[in-house]
Amino acid sequence: MPRQTTASRRRAAAPLAPAPLPVGEGTRTSSRVAPDADILDARRRHAMIEEAAYFHAERRAFQPGHEAEDWYLAERDVDSMLERGADGMAGDANA
């Protein structure tokens, strides 16, 4: 039996699959259908919060122990911005 090299063992290992999306009301289970707008919006919001939290931490010179506070402030900032944006779009539609 031929000896297996480290590289061949790595190739033989199954790669980790990404976590499945939550299935709930309003989500589609068919792989042929585009993801729900709500899921994309949630992902986009999460990415925006991550970035905002990073900038909050940067302003503190990345001192440890304030991660939860940075995240809370980032959520507040992003949600406030999204609410103002939604209000602004609704006002444009009525013009």
- pTM for this one? 0.53
46 CA to centre of own chain: 4
C-alpha 54/C-alpha 77 separation (Å) is: 13
For residues 13 and 86, the model is more confident at: 86
- Overall average pLDDT of the 16-45 stretch: 60
What does the buried/exposed string (b/e) look like for 66-90 if buried means 16 or more CB atoms within 10 Å of the residue's CB?
A: eeeebbebbbebbeeeeeeeeeeee
Helix %, strand %, coil % of the chain (to 5): 60, 0, 40
13 CA to centre of own chain: 28
